[in-house]
Amino acid sequence: MNAMQGTGSKSQEGRFQLLVDAVTDYAIYMLDPKGIVSSWNAGAQRFKGYTQDEILGEHFSRFYTDEDKATELPRRALETAAREGKFEAEGWRLRKDGTRFWAHVVIDPIRDTQGDLIGFAKITRDLTERKKTQEALKESEERFRLLVQGVTDYAIYMLDPQGRVTNWNAGAQRIKGYTQDEILGEHFSRFYTDEDKATELPRRALETAVREGKFEAEGWRLRKDGTRFWASVVIDPIRNDMGDLIGFAKITRDITERRQAQEALAQAQAALFQAQKMEAVGQLTGGVAHDFNNLLTVIVNSLDLLTRNARDTRDMRLIESAQRAAERGAKLTQQLLAFSRRQPLQPALHNPNTLIGGFESILRRACGELVKLQLALAPGVRSISVDAPQFEAALLNLIVNARDAMPDGGSLRIATGNVTIAESEHAAAELEPGPYVSVTVADTGSGMAPEILDRVFEPFFTTKEIGKGTGLGLSQVYGFVTQSGGHVKVDSAPDRGTTITMLLPAQDNGEEAVEDEDGTERPAQESAGTVLIVEDEPAVLEVASDIFDSLGYDVLTATDAQKAIAVLESDAAIDVMFSDVIMPNGMNGVELSRKAREMRPSLRILLASGYPMSALPSEGLGAGVSFISKPYRWTELADKLRMLRS
């Protein structure tokens, strides 16, 4: 029986040895208590390089690197195995050819039935490929971590499935203001505004990312200090190999400056469109006013000529009514020309406080009983170069508009002050940098909606009832200010009142213009000489001829510049040439004047137009040339001729 058991035991040991020898992926061998190799399998030979004959009887420390030998790792490994029942570790080991491999090592102590240590079982596995893969992955992860951490223009961070922050890069800290220690574990909703939290946008953003694979949007976000920035946000869901959601990747970029640039561009485009529209309307209204002036010239002067011969009371009354209507028409054309910046201005140096003070009584009467007018005229305000009557008309138009916006009464304030337009402001204000004087009219009235503000300066646009406004008041203000080299701006909102500010170029303080208080009419002397009238409109030519005839002139006429030159080339004695500026057939009145002065240097010239002289190419005309605006009266014409003779 014992013999049979012994035979069975040996057979079992043989089978076990065959099994160990057949394993090639593991080095399985035995050590005696001192670490001497006492067995060797095929796996040990395969990746350590030693045959059984080469290694049996050798100490297992030869598989260790010099660094590990220096720390006595082989001895300590056996001691650990004997003391704790196992030693397990990973580390570099040496092959026979001196190359290294990464090994996973397990050393178990072997004891006999009495518990005495008789050796060690050592199992080693070559994990070099796995080590390389792990190191490559670790290196890749480290590079990615460094990349993410190095990004400062983007906030790149992770969220867990519930939306709590799990990591934080330098860009997130720079943009949002939180350090990593302050924000890890916090819910990302703290970056959202109260308005977005009220609509549960954070929750909906994560749900959208899960459902659609991405959430992308722009909106206001909050920094740590409570300030807002405009953010571009992308949220992507992160899933494991099984497809389970394990969190979110969130990328945020601060695009506040880009948004501001886009808004500034949109405002500039809107301003350009408005300027182009106003310029187009100005060109149209200027042309209409010019043609209307020709008609008024005929009407006004025909009525004046009739007045000189009329005796019947009824005829006189009818003529006076027609004259009043014509004067209203002339005022209308002046407002149109003011808007189109083609109104002839007579600028002079004035102190705005003096102009307003002298006009105060009229302004107070215009306000009515229900509106309280306050003046806040800054001391030491600079002078401005303006046409005083047009300045007063602009101010009166603003007062009347403000009064009409306060039907139940209110307060109205006129203020002046010195301002300086900086280089950074001049583009937005459409002004050259430098000193300006501000004249502000502020009311507590009903205010205006944005769509009304965009059209306030358009001719004939009005929100007043039919019969209560022409829609030309603010057009005159716009034209006067811009023609004077300034800018007018409006600040208004419904139920907040309206503030209109005229910015006019400041001048060096000096003597103000002295108004000519002599308003008497001085008729021209008789037998004044010969005049050449150049006018393409037959009706205007006829009226002009009658006026000059009544003033004692012998009249010659021409309907265009070429015919006028032909008259000048003749032997006729000509003292004055009276010409319209705008004429057909190429040459205008200014060009004709230059040609006429070349032909007759002593010739006196009077030019007539509904456009201002400043808008015409008048260089080189020299002395002896004057200008009169349409529609002109015969008395004005007589004064201009008298001045030319003096």
- Rounded Cα distance, 36 and 62, in Å: 10
487: β partners: 503
In this prediction, residues 360-378 reach a mean pLDDT of 80
Chain-wide mean pLDDT for the chain?
78
> What integer pLDDT is reported at residue 429 of this predicted model?
52
Among 85-89, 125-129, 267-271, 460-464, top mean pLDDT goes to 85-89
Of the candidate ranges 6-15, 252-261, 375-384, 401-410, the one whose mean pLDDT is the lowest? 6-15
The confidence band for 86, taking pLDDT boundaries of 50, 70 and 90, is very high
Of the candidate ranges 260-274, 459-473, 579-593, 621-635, the one whose mean pLDDT is the lowest? 459-473
> What integer pLDDT is reported at residue 80 of this predicted model?
94
Task: Assess whether pLDDT exceeds 60 at residue 545.
Answer: yes
- 504: which residues sit within 8 A by CB, 6+ positions away? 352, 384, 386, 436, 437, 439, 481, 484, 485, 486
User: DSSP letter at 571?
Assistant: S
Task: Assess whether pLDDT exceeds 50 at residue 89.
Answer: yes
> What integer pLDDT is reported at residue 399 of this predicted model?
83
Architecture of domain 2-127: 2-Layer Sandwich (3.30)
- Taking the domain 151-254, which CATH number applies? 3.30.450.20
Of the candidate ranges 27-41, 162-176, 236-250, 292-306, the one whose mean pLDDT is the lowest? 292-306
> What integer pLDDT is reported at residue 195 of this predicted model?
92
Task: Assess whether pLDDT exceeds 60 at residue 402.
Answer: yes
Helices (H), 85-127: none
Higher-pLDDT residue of 328 and 532 is 532
Q: Write out pLDDT tens, residues 513-526.
A: 444 434 333 343 44
Among 130-139, 216-225, 533-542, top mean pLDDT goes to 216-225
> What integer pLDDT is reported at residue 336 of this predicted model?
53
> What integer pLDDT is reported at residue 67 of this predicted model?
93
Q: Write out pLDDT tens, residues 97-142.
A: 999 989 999 999 999 888 889 999 899 888 888 877 777 666 655 6
The confidence band for 490, taking pLDDT boundaries of 50, 70 and 90, is confident
Report residue 630 as tokens. Answer: 């349409």
- Rounded Cα distance, 505 and 383, in Å: 9
Tokens 């949007």 map to which residue?
217
Task: Assess whether pLDDT exceeds 70 at residue 94.
Answer: yes
> What integer pLDDT is reported at residue 109 of this predicted model?
94
> What integer pLDDT is reported at residue 306 of this predicted model?
74
Task: Assess whether pLDDT exceeds 50 at residue 340.
Answer: no
- Rounded Cα distance, 299 and 559, in Å: 20
Q: Write out pLDDT tens, residues 27-62.
A: 888 899 999 999 898 888 888 899 989 999 999 999
- Rounded Cα distance, 457 and 472, in Å: 8
Residues making up the chain, counted from first to last: 646
> What integer pLDDT is reported at residue 46 of this predicted model?
85
> What integer pLDDT is reported at residue 408 of this predicted model?
83
Q: Is 236 helix (H, G, I), strand (E, B) or coil?
A: strand
Higher-pLDDT residue of 11 and 248 is 248
Task: Assess whether pLDDT exceeds 50 at residue 420.
Answer: yes
- 168: which residues sit within 8 A by CB, 6+ positions away? 157, 178, 179, 180, 183, 184
373: β partners: 412
- Nearest to residue 630, comparing CAs of 346, 330, 335, 390? 330
Higher-pLDDT residue of 469 and 366 is 366
- Taking the domain 348-507, which CATH number applies? 3.30.565.10
> What integer pLDDT is reported at residue 31 of this predicted model?
93
In this prediction, residues 617-628 reach a mean pLDDT of 69
The confidence band for 261, taking pLDDT boundaries of 50, 70 and 90, is confident
In this prediction, residues 555-560 reach a mean pLDDT of 88
> What integer pLDDT is reported at residue 140 of this predicted model?
59
> What integer pLDDT is reported at residue 514 of this predicted model?
40
Task: Assess whether pLDDT exceeds 50 at residue 213.
Answer: yes
The Cβ of residue 634 has, within 10 Å, a number of other Cβ atoms equal to 23
Q: Write out pLDDT tens, residues 299-338.
A: 777 777 777 676 677 777 777 777 677 666 666 555 555 5
**Does this model's pTM top 0.85?**
no
220: β partners: 230
> What integer pLDDT is reported at residue 397 of this predicted model?
78
Task: Give me Rg for the CA atoms of the chain.
Answer: 50
Q: Is the dihedral of CA 257, 258, 260, 261 positive or negative?
A: positive
Q: Domain 529-645: give its CATH superfamily.
A: Response regulator (3.40.50.2300)
CA dihedral 502, 508, 509, 510 (to 10 degrees): -120
Exposure string over 359-383, b if 16+ CB within 10 A, otherwise e: beeebeebbeeebebeeebeeebbb
Q: Write out pLDDT tens, residues 107-119.
A: 999 998 888 899 9
Higher-pLDDT residue of 579 and 14 is 579
> What integer pLDDT is reported at residue 488 of this predicted model?
84
> What integer pLDDT is reported at residue 133 of this predicted model?
74
